Amino acid sequence: MALLLCIAAGITVQQLTPAPDDTVAAVAAARDLPAGKTLDAADMMVLNIPPGLLPAGSFGDGATLHGKQLAIPLRQGQLIADTQLLGPGLLAGSPPGSAAVPLRMADPASVRLVSAGQLVNVVMSGDNGFDRPGTSEVLAAGVPVLWTSAQGGKAAQWLGDAETDGLIVVAADADQSRRLAGASTQGKLFFVLVPPVPG
């Protein structure tokens, strides 16, 4: 009798529980993944989530992500979006006309001190150590870092197959981009960490 009562109660609860909303497929990290990881099938899993929780730029099929490289670390179960991948998606939310500009720092080891999302001033020093006096110029102020070579992996999808040691990629507006283009051939480039602008 007790068993029958339990079954009946279960059927009643099931009937009173509203049917689940439609779900959509979304690709998530199958395990904790480091920045710079090149994604393969073992790194991804597909979750079914309500459409309202699906972020813009997400993916419904892991095949489209195979071979893509992470720009940031991900936790297991975290949905994967284009803003987390090395490539144009890193500029999502940047002002219109922004560009991703790769810069080679004079001190390659210094890129270990900065990570994606931090703001930096890019400074060029014209001192060549011999006949030129030491002068410094701020080429771009408060630009966000999108990627650094210290994050690991190769940057083939972003920068081509060239050597990436000491490189950072920043988001710059049109005027900053003009000043930064080719700057590493005119002097030594350094960065200075700056605090976020108060909102």
Residue-level pLDDT at 58: 92
Reading across the β-sheet that carries 119-125, which strands appear in turn?
99-104, 167-172, 136-148, 119-125, 188-194
Q: What's 21-85's CATH class?
A: alpha beta
Residue-level pLDDT at 161: 44
Residue-level pLDDT at 89: 80
The model's pLDDT over 177-186, given as tens digits with 9 standing for 90+, comes to 999 988 878 8
* pLDDT confidence band for 72 (50 / 70 / 90): confident
* pLDDT confidence band for 91 (50 / 70 / 90): confident
- Domain spans, the chain: 21-85, 90-194
Residue-level pLDDT at 198: 62
Is the pTM here over 0.85, yes or no? no
With CA atoms as reference, report the closest residue to 34 among 151, 116, 147, 165. 151
pLDDT at 71 over 50: yes
